[in-house]
Amino acid sequence: MRETDGRASVEQRRGFLQGMATAASALALAGCATAGAAGARAAASEGQEKDAGEAEVTPGEDLMQEHGVIERILLLYDEGARRIEHGEGLDLGVIQRAARIVRSFVEDYHERQEEQSVFPRLQAAGREQELVATLLRQHQRGRELTDEIVRVTGAGGAPELPRLLRSFARMYRPHAAREDTVLFPAFRAVIGRSGYAELGEQFEDKEHELLGEHGFEGTVAEVAQLEAALGIADLAKFTA
């Protein structure tokens, strides 16, 4: 009888231990599922935060936005030339400030970026050689015109100022348009995705180094002030 009872006791213990093992396994699986769900939620939250953040500006987009600043300066040049030609009042200090923005933002920053980072890569790849050569000549000619504009406005004006302003604008509009539609697409194809992303970071670092933390935004704000001074700040006035 005791032998039978002993066998029954052993079986009970085995059943109890198997039940405990099963319960432990279930708890472990539940824990893994909970941890997995939490990890998935954390990853999704992180992804949402990244999506909600500011998108990175590519080098091409960066350069094209800077062309937008240049075009707004050219509108200042257009208005300055028009006022002189029609005998209307003009504060030459506004035009000189615009020319100094051309010097610091366009020539010493924007064009240098192109000359140091964009043009050499295209030349090394044998792409758009003739275009690059023309663009380089126009950069140099633009600097000469800026020197003259600064000199003339500082001296109180001269009859050749409208010609200087119009010459710069006439050259730079097709210059920027050809870069936007031909040069930058060719450059993107040459440099590749990873190189393109890396260069974008270099452009941003250079902007902060030369122009301060808010270099682009600060330049846009300064140009807007000059537009207001010349009465061309209201975009609606340009509606056809």
Q: What CATH number does residue 164 fall under?
A: 1.20.120
The DSSP-derived string for the chain is -HHHHHHHHHHHHHHHHHHHHHHHHHHHHHHHHHHHHHHHHHHHHHHHHHHHSPPPPPHHHHHHHHHHHHHHHHHHHHHHHHHHHTT----HHHHHHHHHHIIIIIIIIIHHHIIIIIHHHHHHTT-SHHHHHHHHHHHHHHHHHHHHHHHHHHTT--TTHHHHHHHHHHHHHHHHHHIIIIIHHHHHHHHHHHHHHHHHHHHHHHHHHHH-TTHHHHHHHHHHHHHHHTT---GGGG--
Is residue 47 located within the same domain as residue 128? no
Q: Residue 234 has what pLDDT?
A: 96
| Mean pLDDT per 10-residue section of the chain, whose length is 240 residues | 44 48 46 48 49 68 91 98 95 97 94 94 95 98 98 92 98 97 93 77 72 82 97 96
Is residue 76 located within the same domain as residue 46? no
Is residue 114 located within the same domain as residue 25? no
Query: What is the pTM for the complete model shown?
Result: 0.75
Is residue 98 located within the same domain as residue 210? yes
Q: What is the pLDDT of residues 164-173, one digit of tens each?
A: 999 999 999 9
Is residue 112 located within the same domain as residue 29? no
Mean pLDDT of all residues belonging to the chain: 82
Is residue 101 located within the same domain as residue 211? yes
Is residue 18 located within the same domain as residue 134? no
Is residue 28 located within the same domain as residue 97? no
Given 16, 31, 53, which residue is the final one in a domain? 53
Q: Residue 3 has what pLDDT?
A: 41
> Can you give the residue range of the structural domain that contains 225?
59-238
Q: Residue 50 has what pLDDT?
A: 47
Is residue 110 located within the same domain as residue 227? yes
Is residue 63 located within the same domain as residue 33? no
* Domains identified in the chain, total number: 2
Is residue 30 located within the same domain as residue 74? no
Is residue 168 located within the same domain as residue 233? yes
